[in-house]
A = this chain, B = another copy of it.
Amino acid sequence: MPRPVNHEFWMAQALRLARKGMYSTHPNPRVGCVIVKDAKLVSQGWHEFTGGPHAEINAIEKNQVPPGSDFYTTLEPCSHHGKTPPCVDALIKLKPRRVVVAMQDPNPLVAGAGIGKLEANGIKVVQGVLESEARLLNPGFISRLEKGRPFVRLKMAISLDGRTALKSGESRWITGKSARLDVQRLRARSSAILTSAKTVMDDNPSLNLRVSKSDLDQNVELRHPVRVILDAELRLTGKEKIFGTDGEIWIYTLNSSPFEIERLVAAGAQVSILDDSGSGNINLKKLMSHLAKREINEVHTECGQTLAGALVQQGLVDEIIIYMAPKLLGSRSIGAFDLGQISRISESVKCNIEQVRKIDEDIRLTLSLA
């Protein structure tokens, strides 16, 4: 059987390469590039780590690229001077026949500029090949540039009857070892881990990465996601376990008291004061917009039912990952989402089930929110 040679075939390879940057390109997008001539692979590359060369440059530098080649890139080549010179210029010099692009730059201000420059130089550009797959690769980067907020993923470990913990507070461990390793992968791909001061005080978690680069099959050292803690009243002491672990801590508060701020800064945290518009609660939309400005792409949320319910009800959650353990904890144990008093089933929060997987004895549900 002849090898199927078509745009989708080579773009799928570029997407596979892009995925290798899953844990190491923050705040940049994951991008892959494949160079093809006469239906044969000439070279390939991906954006390997923050500050390193872009995917196209890595591919160009690995092998001699003959004129008339086809480039497949999962994201429109950049046309601006950032940490590295623009990729389109490097491409134009090589006189490619065609550049196939999965998706345009999500930044509305520059979208299409790279493509325009290629076309202006007589290079044919094909757009939209495996576009939705390419978008799935960078949900946070895209959300940040298109909507001005990060992609928010909420993780919950619950029993079959929807309980996250006992009344006593005990919650370790509801799910099994494999599910917990899976959570580490979600943390590792995220720019930030979001939680509440209440969770930090109640459970005293570290919320850090407990996997190494080899666990995730990576060459590049793993970056610790920023831990973002909502502490409206600055109740944290700075002595909680989380302060003694690697990685940045950003605290968002409504409390402007220098004394409390100083205590937490001394413990290594960065403290930002958000305007509450008089509500007494941290404005979650403002928080998200603030995080996007600080180049946070994907937010991984691990929190209790109050923050989880508020995020969901304010439409700020894009994906929920539920790890469901084959246990019943009973109706007197702690619930997962406080949505206030719902008076009609039609007022419930609707989700779409994107994926259901067994993970050893547990089940993982991937849900998107409308």
User: CB within 8 Å of B: which residues of A?
Assistant: 158-163, 166-168, 170-174, 305, 309, 312, 320, 322, 326-345, 348-353, 356, 358, 361, 363, 365, 367
Contact = CB atoms under 8 A, between A and B. Distances in A.
Contacts of A320: 160
A41 to B, nearest CB: 38
Contacts of A330: 309, 335, 337-340, 342, 348-349
Contacts of A349: 327-328, 330
* Main SS class of interface, A: loop
A161 to B, nearest CB: 4
8 contacts: A158-B162, A159-B348, A166-B343, A309-B330, A326-B353, A328-B337, A328-B348, A331-B339
Contacts of A327: 345, 348-351
A359 to B, nearest CB: 11
B166 A345 contact: yes
A348 B163 CA distance: 11
Contacts of A174: 345
A161 B309 CA distance: 11
B353 A358 contact: yes
Nearest to A174: B345
